[in-house]
Amino acid sequence: MNYVYNVAKKTGWEAYGRPLLKSIGLYNNDDLSYGRTSIPFSGMEKRLYNQDDIDVWYGKVIMPNGKDWCWYQVWQHKSFLNSENQADILFVHGTGVHSGTLAGHARRYLEAGFRLIVPDLVSHGYSSGLHVYQRKMSAYTEGLHEVLHDVARRDDARLGRSSDKSQAHRHKTFMLGLSFGGTVAMHYAMDYPGSKRGSKEVEDGEIPIDGLVVVGPILGYSPLNIVMPIYLTYIILALNALGAGCMELTVPHKKCLDKDPKVYAALIDEDKRSHQGAFRVGHLLCINDAVIDLHRQAHNIQHPIFIQQGGQDRVACPQKTFKWVESIPSDDKKMTVYPVCQHVIYRKAKTEEEDLAGRVACIEDNLAWMMQR
């Protein structure tokens, strides 16, 4: 009963009490990160920052509404700081975690010459917004769009060049998305079709995306392991209709993320910058709507894309991913399944043999794919 009371109390405040008091001027939230900016960097990030040959800087771009922001960090190997053949990778992390989750895997990309642009998605990490609460996927893609353009403006200012540089002359830029981040990256291609290099729909000043690497994307949940009861679906719709979209309800994939429960614990429970509550009603609907949109609008996806899926993934449905890949008109598409991998492919396995066949192979394959382009 205490749990139910606490959830009801928290939801009542977040969904009704706080907005009401703000509307009549009796409450002012000065910290739009809800305390997350005071959380220290993770151990993985600190270890990366302490390496003498890695250059690190941080940025924060204000969103079009003039209030919210998207925080990001940029990592680069110092030996490539003045390289004329610079290429960028925009990393898109999964739901509930943050940009620092790439830190433990970053060095291979950095040594290959890539600059890593690593944002906290809006409503995640050091970015603004109620933790993991966006009703529309467009909020996430808009944040990535603003980060890319902010980095480009900084580059232009540093090099003393015009900010209207054409697509043909901007350096290579790729997106690397993990899990939900892969879904966000694919949605970016749908929301910004003019970002495909050489696209006939190019918008003036758009930052070109030369390819999407999506690892374990959500294009539908596994029907064997994640089944949403019909009564829960109605509860979600009712709560959303009543304005309680911010209510924390359930984590559909918690028990099937990995056979080793320590993986979930390390990503979520032991990381203070991660969201340790349940998925909010609005976030569940956001994911559902995004997946539906991606299937409905698959015919509009033109970007080069490389999808990597775990053969033992119990969260995402590989069959739905195969179907989606077959339906998109992109003339540069590829999908590879890694038999030993579960949903979290970017995790160090217990044995060297499994790690080489899984995480290491996945990184080497997507790195080679990007290098070829």
Question: What's the one-letter identity of residue 214?
Answer: V
What mean pLDDT comes out for the span 343-349? 91
Query: Domain spanning 31-371: which superfamily?
Result: Alpha/Beta hydrolase fold, catalytic domain (3.40.50.1820)
CA–CA separation, 346 and 310 (whole Å): 10
282, 241 Cβ separation under 8 angstroms: no
pLDDT of residue 54: 98
What mean pLDDT comes out for the span 136-149? 97
By mean pLDDT, which of 7-21, 61-75, 172-186, 328-342 is the weakest? 7-21
CA–CA separation, 359 and 364 (whole Å): 9
**Other beta carbons within 10 Å of 77:** 21
Map out the domains of the chain as residue ranges.
31-371
Q: Which three-class secondary structure state does DSSP give residue 88? A: strand
By mean pLDDT, which of 1-5, 159-163, 177-181, 281-285 is the weakest? 1-5
Per-residue pLDDT at 4 exceeds 60: no
CA–CA separation, 348 and 356 (whole Å): 9
Token pair 């609907």 is found at: 285
71, 58 Cβ separation under 8 angstroms: yes
pLDDT bin (cut points 50, 70, 90) of residue 7 is low
Per-residue pLDDT at 104 exceeds 80: yes
pLDDT of residue 94: 97
Strand order in the sheet with 54-62: 54-62, 69-77, 114-119, 87-92, 173-178, 211-215, 305-310, 333-338
pLDDT in tens, 252-269: 988 899 988 888 888 898
Q: What are φ and ψ of residue 362, in 5° steps?
A: -60, -45
Closest CA to 228 of 211, 249, 258, 208: 249
The proportion of the chain whose per-residue pLDDT surpasses 90, expressed as a percent, equals 74
As a whole number of Å, the end-to-end CA separation of the chain is 57
Per-residue pLDDT at 98 exceeds 80: yes
CA angle 174, 321, 294 (to 5 degrees): 70
The whole-chain average pLDDT of the chain stands at: 91
pLDDT of residue 220: 94
pLDDT in tens, 276-287: 999 999 999 999
Q: How far is CA 198 from CA 62, 203, 303, in A?
A: 29, 11, 10
pLDDT of residue 171: 87
pLDDT of residue 217: 97
pLDDT bin (cut points 50, 70, 90) of residue 219 is very high
What mean pLDDT comes out for the span 102-109? 97
pLDDT in tens, 69-87: 999 999 999 999 987 778 9
Partners of 212 in beta bridges: 175, 305
DSSP state string for 274-337? S--SPEEHHHHHHHHHHHHHHHHTGGG--S-EEEEEETT-SSB-HHHHHHHHHH---SSEEEEE
What mean pLDDT comes out for the span 306-329? 95
Closest CA to 63 of 156, 119, 180, 145: 145
pLDDT of residue 201: 59
CA–CA separation, 127 and 131 (whole Å): 9
Per-residue pLDDT at 1 exceeds 60: no
pLDDT of residue 58: 98
Residue predicted with more confidence, 166 or 289:
289
**Other beta carbons within 10 Å of 34:** 14
